[in-house]
Amino acid sequence: MVERALFRYKENSFLVGIGCESEFLLHSDLNWNALDTFLEKHEGRTLFTVINYQLGLDILSVPHAPNQLPLLRVWVPESTYLYESTTAYLLEGKHDEMHQKLAEAVFETRENAPTVQWKAKIDQTTYLERIQQLKEHIQLGDIYELNFCQLIESQPITLHSIQPFFNRMWELNPTPFAGMVETERWMLASASPERFIQKKGSKLISQPIKGTAPRGKTEPEDMQFRNNLQASPKERAENVMIVDLVRNDLSRVATKGSVHVEELCGIYSFPTVHQMISTISCELKEKMSLSEILKAAFPMGSMTGAPKKSAVELAEKYEGFSREFYSGSFGVIYPNMDFDLNVLIRTLVYDHQTKKLSCGVGGAITMLSDPQAEYEECRFKVDKILSLFGTCQW
């Protein structure tokens, strides 16, 4: 199998990486110096990276089960292309006819995605009980907010490519931080609407999502859902708590007084949901490496809760699964060492060893949360993706 990766660049263009010329892997030992050395060595090249949520647990010194997938992978493709309107333009690396064809075929579905029987790992009764237990922790002051997640898995299926899944997801839901990776060990297809963090020169930008509403069947109903989300005290409180957490994270790598909330609780509409998004930025201190930024800000607050370490510890206790790539990050590091990293939500992950597709989903739990409403929110967040390929037993 020839590796492929693509990450949305802008509008309908993608950066596409074919093959792997060189890679850096973290499996357990957090060797940050080796990561920085690898990045310095390959400055001037386009790199792709996938970051496992479990890396965040190690950063926070929270015990967890052994990860099955890499904690961090950064790689230099053999060939990197800009894909626009069915044409792939070679940006760097070797010119190779097969690579060119693979890059130009990223949206050519030669086969249909197989039918999938999805099953949630916890049933509705168990989910509601765990939300109630988490609200007791909130009442005791252990946490203020926790992003509680659950996992949906497929039956064992043999996949040689995840491209048919990605193509259908993109057709339904062309999100700003969509991407796909295919390797011999694992594959992922992401329809992520959320940016974890972007570096542009000395500026760092984070855009956490907290607050979700379904799209309406009619224009008036759709506008009502959007307005309800904008006015919801619960959703705004969830968002503001995470904005405060992100401000604190960024302050660890920012110049004094530069952390700024550019937009608070903005409402953005996507094909399947309305989302509440805030934008926080800062000016970086000099010589801040990617490793320093990750140590300050990962795992992202929108996928943990607050306080971050307490929320992560309770999630480990109650979720009952290892998130792995789900709620981690995927993105591109540019030749000048700027980067853009998403949040791996609305994402399918395929493990070649277990032969299962998985899809994580979650939501913020606060004192104002209604357990049944939280359960329904999980369903409408991913139902339209899951139903593209089969049926789900919740």
Task: Please give the Cα distance from 380 to 17 (Å, whole number).
Answer: 33
**319: annotated active-site residue:** no
Which pLDDT value is given to residue 70?
A: 96
**In whole angstroms, what is the distance from residue 192 CA to residue 330 CA?**
10
Residues of the chain predicted below pLDDT 50: none
pLDDT score of 241: 94
Does 210 participate in catalysis according to the annotation? yes
Catalytic residue among 194, 238, 313, 324, which? 194
Contacts 24+ apart (CB under 8 A), 369-375: 369/131, 369/135, 369/234, 371/127, 371/128, 371/131, 371/132, 371/135, 372/128, 374/131, 374/148, 375/124, 375/127, 375/128, 375/131
Distance (Å, whole) CA 82 – CA 92: 10
Domains of the chain: 4-393 (3.60.120.10)
Q: Which residues contact 72 (CB under 8 A, 6 or more apart)?
A: 24, 25, 26, 35, 49, 50, 51, 52, 55
Quick one: pLDDT at residue 28?
85
The residue from 210, 308, 381, 384 that is catalytic is 210
pTM of the model: 0.96
DSSP assignment of 93-112 equals: E---HHHHHHHHTTT---SP
